[in-house]
Amino acid sequence: MKVVFERTKGLTNEETHYCPGCTHGIVHRLVGETLEELGVLENTVGVASVGCSVLSYHYFNCDMTQAAHGRAPAVATGLKRVLPQDRIVFTYQGDGDLASIGMGEVVHAAARGENITVIFVNNAIYGMTGGQMAPTTLIGQRTATSPQGRDIQSHGLPIRVSEMLATIDGASYIERVSTHNVKQVVRAKKAIKNAFKNQQEKKGFSMVEVLSSCPTNWGLTPEESLQWIEEQMVPYYPLGILKNSSVITEDIR
């Protein structure tokens, strides 16, 4: 029989802990495939964050380390600066980790133009700790800590992280993609590969934001969750490239 798909060598054979319908697994596969296709698996170090992605070091078939909550960009900065220049360093972070306690870390990593790649998985909620409101939770969205829905006067507006980081001069490549259908998954793969290529070419800080589902905490079926991404998240978090600089940073890292 003709082989039409093979499991990427970029992932281990570990059984996933993610809930049914969660698209973290899709993002994992895209990252793993990219690292394999670029031929950098043996030279890559990933930094796992705190949240649903806390166990991602079980799945990526490359060197991995764990960072304290929100501190993955700081750990990645240290790794990238002390390791040989051919090493690839990336972080894998959720919105509760990156956009809340870790916001300062990612902003200043971008401002310094750190030559790292950030994979930012945005499901608009705290997934691991019980479904609390996150900085990216949409207006009117119900969570464990906003049971009546997010209210602007009480909770403020959701933060568009990619738009914010795109204004920072040190950021080289910023793109937002999604996982709600096959077409968008293909686009997400292209964006992730571009972000890692930017690091290979020493262009500085790159981040790909991936809109992802959380059926368990959203109280939806997997199918409904994909529809919710398209109908609710994409209008507020529009997809596309927000910044793509061709300027190569000074090689000091």
CA-CA distance, 28 to 35, in Å (whole number)?
Answer: 11
Nearest alpha-carbon partner for 58 in 97, 18, 95, 1: 18
Class of residue 147 by CB neighbours under 10 A (exposed 0-12, middle 13-18, buried 19+): exposed
Burial 165-183 (b: 16+ CB within 10 A, else e): bbebebbbbbbbbbbbeee
Nearest alpha-carbon partner for 79 in 53, 45, 105: 45
CA-CA distance, 30 to 192, in Å (whole number)?
Answer: 7
Predicted confidence (pLDDT) per residue in 191-233, tens digit: 999 999 999 999 999 999 999 999 999 999 999 999 999 999 9
The strand order across the sheet containing 205-211 reads 63-66, 44-48, 88-94, 117-122, 205-211, 171-178, 240-244
Percentage of residues in the chain with pLDDT exceeding 90? Answer: 87
Quick check: 102 pLDDT over 50? yes
- Average pLDDT (102-131) is 94
Quick check: 253 pLDDT over 60? no
What is the residue-averaged pLDDT of the chain? 94
Nearest alpha-carbon partner for 115 in 196, 10, 34, 39: 196
Residue 140, domain member (yes or no):
yes
CATH number assigned to the domain comprising residue 37: 3.40.50.970
Residue 251, domain member (yes or no):
no
Residue 94, domain member (yes or no):
yes
Q: What is the pLDDT of residue 252?
A: 39
> What DSSP designation does 63 have?
E
Nearest alpha-carbon partner for 37 in 185, 207, 193: 193
Q: What is the pLDDT of residue 141?
A: 95
- Average pLDDT (18-47) is 96
- Tally the domains of the chain: 1
15: its two tokens:
């059984």
Element (H, E) at 174: strand 171-178
Residue 177, domain member (yes or no):
yes
Cβ-contact 211, 122 below 8 angstroms: yes
Cα separations in angstroms, 63 against 20, 56, 87: 27, 11, 11
CA atoms within 13 A of residue 96's CA, in its CB half-sphere: 20
Identity at 195, one-letter amino acid code: A
Residue 207 belongs to domain spanning:
24-244
Most distant CA pair in the chain, distance: 60
Sign of CA dihedral 118, 124, 125, 128: negative
Answer yes or no: pTM beyond 0.85.
Answer: yes
Quick check: 250 pLDDT over 50? no
Residue 204, domain member (yes or no):
yes
Sign of CA dihedral 165, 253, 96, 57: positive
Q: What is the pLDDT of residue 246?
A: 61
